[in-house]
Structure 1
Amino acid sequence: MAIVLFCSALPSFYNERHIDRDCFLTAIPSRGSMSTFLRPRVPDVQNADSAWAICPFCGPHKQCLPPDVLEPYATRLGHISGHRRVARGDYLYRAGDAFTHLHAIRSGDVKTSRVSADGEEQIIGFNMTGDLLGVDAIHDGRHRCNAIALEQSEICTLSFTPLQELFLFMPRLLQHFLQLMAAEIARQQNAIILLGNTRTEQRVAAFVISLASRYLALGYSPTRFRMRMSREEMGCYLGMTNESISRALSNFRRQGVLNVDYRDLEILDIAALRAAAAGLV
């Protein structure tokens, strides 16, 4: 899971320390009257062999592999890395598949989910640019969930068996992956905290705050962004009905907290949204 759900420490929206000035930016028009959105422009890659060559120029690489890991070992890592494009609705892997690779999202959004015994989808998390997928399959060699692209996405892959061999003489790389796994555990714990909140508007507010904090960390606008998941998918993740999600968003819009236009969202009053997320209103 990739959305940071513990939202009490969201930094100031305009703190420049959190903006990645190395990202290549391109404007994506929004719907209606809302402003344009800025997203990293990912250099085009036609085949897996050239994928690692552009890694230093890829905005999200600082989330996947920090410079002190990437630069000294780029050649060795290049031998075990690959690249793939996936269309909206395509699977990166399915529950039960053998675990062979870790998957880093270079651009796009991916959801992880399971199918219940009665055939209902259960969404585990929403994953964004820079997130690493497949870590949960390391312990038994089988993926426990499906990973499905929410939009056209570009994925970097790392073959895990040779990666383990690199850990033996690259302790900084091992440390980095342990940190990623620890962050995943923390996100799972925060998800439990969020889902323990019984108030509908509190869950929705916390979810929106978590998205804003993720976009801020990636160098995007934290006040205007497009939600890549549908209302149904959001409700499935939060344990709410589509009608409850729509009603909560409508209430926030009526209160002047949010401006919602289909999947385009603008935060108008961050203080009020934080208060709602904390259950103070």
Structure 2
Amino acid sequence: MQKKRSGTSVDADAPARLIAAQPFAAGLGDDALERLIDTAAHRRVAEGQFLFHQQAAATRFFVVIEGKLKLYRISAAGSEKIIGRVGAGDSFAEGIAFMECPRYPVHAQAIEDSRVIGLSRKVYREQLIASPETCLAVMGKLTGRISRLLDEIECLTLRGGRDRVIRFLLGLVPNDGAARNDATITLPARKNTIAAQLSIRPETLSRILAGLNRDGLIQRTADPHRLYIPEPAVLRREFDESTGGQRF
């Protein structure tokens, strides 16, 4: 979409381009996209601050400009279960467009200072009704998320803590990691947040990482947020042998 407003700088146009590039915008014509972009509300969310709470009335879905947020629920026992994390360029909560009485299914909390764009659920729903292509694109994205969550549930219920940690680390290896002899990964959150996502205690996570380091499968670096994996294929083989070759 080339349309620009008078006096708009390149930087000011960046959020509009970010929105236009999202899967949820697939199939939208220029006019429909412009109408959606016109509903954009920018918001800063400081580390630890909530963007929204579970079961709150949902009027907007979001795109992250910068920073990271965690999406989680609280169990009946009071423990935190992280459903996912989102960072710069990610969108989330689009599913509210399909709800008749929309409420957010999770809490959204910043794990570092963040900026997000909120878009109108009402306006977007009108576009979904008018554009089958857009509706199918969003449904495809949501189906992918559901599939990943089912894989995670299976891993959490059938595998031990070590397997969960290895699977998590493998998910951080760059796409070309399998073709290389080594890889350096960056942990996307603090260890207590990662532990909550894997349904283990932070001290258990630390013990498992120490064990993987001792076994030579990973190596700590000077940066506590980064880990070196000398041979990703060996780490993958460790996981496959433990799970009988079944990839979660």
TM-score bracket relative to the smaller structure:
0.7 to 0.9
* Aligned partners of 1:151 and 1:228 also within 8 Å: no
From 149, 171, 175, give the equivalent of 2:136: 175
Match of 2:39 in 1: 80
Match of 2:218 in 1: 258
Match of 1:275 in 2: 237
Task: Give yes or no for the alignment of 1:185 onto 2:185.
Answer: no
Aligned equivalents of 1:279 and 1:130: distance in 2?
35
Q: What is the deviation of 1:161? A: 0.8
Match of 1:150 in 2: 111
Instruction: Give the RMSD, CA atoms, in angstroms.
Output: 3.1
Match of 1:8 in 2: none
Q: What is the deviation of 1:121? A: 2.4
From 188, 191, 194, give the equivalent of 1:234: 194
- One-letter code of the match for 2:183? T
Report SS of the residue matched to 2:65. strand
1:21-36 matches, cutoff 5 A:
none
Task: Give yes or no for the alignment of 1:107 onto 2:66.
Answer: yes
Q: What is the deviation of 1:267? A: 2.5
Aligned equivalents of 1:85 and 1:131: distance in 2?
16
Q: What is the deviation of 1:256? A: 2.7
Structure 2 residues without counterparts, runs of 5 or longer: 1-9, 244-248
1:165-202: per-residue Cα shift (whole Å, max 9, x none)? 11233332222211121112112111112213423221
- One-letter code of the match for 1:239? S
Report SS of the residue matched to 1:250. helix
Report SS of the residue matched to 2:43. strand
Q: What is the deviation of 1:162? A: 1.0
Match of 2:170 in 1: 209
Aligned equivalents of 1:197 and 1:133: distance in 2?
28
- One-letter code of the match for 1:110? L
Cα 1:61–1:246, aligned 2, differ >3 Å: closer, same or farther? farther
Aligned equivalents of 2:115 and 2:103: distance in 1?
23
Cα 1:71–1:151, aligned 2, differ >3 Å: closer, same or farther? farther
Structure with larger Rg: 2
1:203-249: per-residue Cα shift (whole Å, max 9, x none)? 10101122335899xxxxx9334323222222222121222211211
Report SS of the residue matched to 2:54. coil
* Aligned partners of 1:52 and 1:81 also within 8 Å: no
Match of 2:207 in 1: 247
Cα 1:199–1:141, aligned 2, differ >3 Å: closer, same or farther? same
Cα 1:251–1:154, aligned 2, differ >3 Å: closer, same or farther? same
* Aligned partners of 1:103 and 1:132 also within 8 Å: yes
Q: What is the deviation of 1:102? A: 0.9
Cα 1:215–1:155, aligned 2, differ >3 Å: closer, same or farther? farther
Q: What is the deviation of 1:92? A: 1.3
Cα 1:214–1:62, aligned 2, differ >3 Å: closer, same or farther? farther
* Aligned partners of 1:112 and 1:126 also within 8 Å: yes
Match of 2:81 in 1: 122
| Length, aligned pairs only | 226
Question: What is the TM-score of this pair, normalised by structure 1?
Answer: 0.69
Higher relative contact order (CA 8 A, sep 6+): 1
Cα 1:105–1:214, aligned 2, differ >3 Å: closer, same or farther? farther
